[in-house]
Amino acid sequence: MGPELAQIWELVEAGDVQGVLRGLRPIADTIGIEDLARVMGRVAGVVGFTDLVDASAAVAADPANPIGLYDFGYGCVEHGVAYLAVPALSAALRAAPESRRVLTELVAALESEYRHQEAVTLLAEREPTLRDWPERYLLVFNAIMAGRLDVAARHFERLTEPEDRQWAPARERVRHMLDRAALARTVRPLDGEDLRGWHFVVGGGVLATLSPYGFQHGMTGRYAYLQDDYGHCLRGLHRLRLILRAAGRRPATVSLLPDRSSQILGRAAAELFGLPAVPFDPSLQDTVVVAYDLSDVDQQSAAALRERAPGQVLFEQATCWTQPPAVTADVSGLLSQFVVPPWGERLGGGPDNEVSQEPADDRPVETLAAQVLGADPKPDTGDGETPEDSDESLSAFVAGLRDLWLTGPRDRMRSPGPVRSSRFA
């Protein structure tokens, strides 16, 4: 037993489930399947995942059995630890190379871990025998997410219309992505650092601002943890107004979603734009729907936002890029893994540099909306390493893609795409 695995077992004995899972991530592809199964059997028992307990025991008893390996990998994917599924499903595919079921489950595990290029390689190796649905579609989707637009376009041309209509939305999804990519290429480089360009390709939305910190040190324009402030919020609204003008959009109202944070920001937007604020109605046309964080919006409103009414624009101030909401905003103010709104419970500095928890600001919505409007929207200069993010460049970007903006459903962004950022595990 190597030292890393020995440390994992110490965490197992201590009952530290999260510590075990964090420790397994960097070594999952290198330790033996039997060891992985034994560890996960113990962990699954602690958290009550009986299906994974049974699957782990089967693999530990017979690590060469592809059925047991598949069941273990499937269980890991279902319980949110797809990185542990990859080695098991890879072994299952080596043992049963003709199994399409194992192949597609392995691709699903790789997708969950954003290992899109590996999925492309895996599928491309089997290109002569791929079925269009779902295998060739999966090749197209993962090629887009890996930034391999040439591969994606070539295989999309070969996709037939699916006989099973449940695949029709998937075909439309990748068609929209490729159409957006072809247009975005005329105004953006779509390279490994073009976060704004790829954000549009993958989800159809416009990213209003880039993080000014850590661009060259793993963040590439996204935030990891952000305590948002009123100036950020006002800058997001200014950028929203700029985007609307560049796209030639003239909304007649601002629609208010029911959650408190969206009410605050929506009222500020209505005042800034000089438009009436109205309750959210999914059928209302020519309106800007303002959300602070779509993850906080009730399920009924989120479902109603997936299909947009004519002229409806959905703005979200803070978009979570690691656990994206069910619908993708037409404009995202910023991308962050964790965000605290200006009026939420916040970390502050106490006496002697002690960290303290500051309570949420429970003042009326109207008061906080006025504080947004009174803030300084001047951008943070950051560390000076973020690419130029001027109003002029954003306007030019939006003007160049306006014909395909606000088209297609607001599908959930299933991956951050080709531009990677560091994140908390």
Looking up residue 80, the CATH number of its domain turns out to be: 1.25.40
- Both tokens of 422, joined, read 């560091």
For residue 375, tell me if it sits in a domain.
Answer: yes
196 shares a domain with 61: no
For residue 302, tell me if it sits in a domain.
Answer: yes
Q: State the CATH number of the domain containing residue 393.
A: 3.40.50
For residue 418, tell me if it sits in a domain.
Answer: no
Last residue of a domain, one of 113, 147, 169: 113
The pLDDT, as a whole number, for residue 2 is 82
**Which residues span the domain enclosing 166?**
125-184
131 shares a domain with 105: no
297 shares a domain with 377: yes
Q: How confident is the prediction along the chain (425 residues), in pLDDT tens digits per residue?
A: 688 899 999 999 999 999 999 999 999 999 999 999 999 999 999 999 999 999 999 999 999 999 999 999 999 999 999 999 999 999 999 999 999 999 999 999 999 999 999 999 999 999 999 999 999 999 999 999 999 999 999 999 999 999 999 999 999 999 999 999 999 999 999 999 999 999 999 999 999 999 999 999 999 999 999 999 999 999 999 999 999 999 999 999 999 999 999 999 999 999 999 999 999 999 999 999 999 999 999 999 999 999 999 999 999 999 999 999 999 999 999 999 999 999 999 887 666 667 778 999 999 999 999 999 999 999 999 999 999 999 999 999 999 999 999 998 999 998 999 999 999 87
235 shares a domain with 371: yes
108 shares a domain with 140: no
From residue 180, give the alpha-carbon distance in Å to each of 1, 102, 206. 50, 32, 12
Last residue of a domain, one of 164, 184, 204: 184
Last residue of a domain, one of 113, 146, 165: 113
Contact 37, 30 (CB under 8 A): no
332 shares a domain with 300: yes
For residue 195, tell me if it sits in a domain.
Answer: yes
289 shares a domain with 367: yes
The pLDDT, as a whole number, for residue 349 is 66
Instruction: Find the Cα–Cα–Cα–Cα dihedral 224, 230, 232, 237, rounded to 10°.
Output: 130
29 shares a domain with 129: no
206 shares a domain with 91: no
For residue 411, tell me if it sits in a domain.
Answer: no
172 shares a domain with 288: no
232 shares a domain with 171: no
Structure pTM?
Answer: 0.94
Question: Exposure pattern of 20-32 as b/e (b: 16+ CB <10 Å)?
Answer: bbebbeeebeebe
For residue 409, tell me if it sits in a domain.
Answer: no
289 shares a domain with 151: no
β-pairing verdict for 355-358 and 346-349: antiparallel
For residue 421, tell me if it sits in a domain.
Answer: no
For residue 118, tell me if it sits in a domain.
Answer: no
The pLDDT, as a whole number, for residue 280 is 98
Closest CA to 319 of 297, 299, 304: 297
The pLDDT, as a whole number, for residue 352 is 64
Query: Structurally, how many domains does the chain consist of?
Result: 3
Residue type, 169: P
Give the list of residues 6+ apart from residue 184 with CB closer than 8 angstroms, or none.
190, 197, 200, 201, 400, 401
Q: Which phi and psi angles does 334 have, rounded to 5°? A: -160, 165
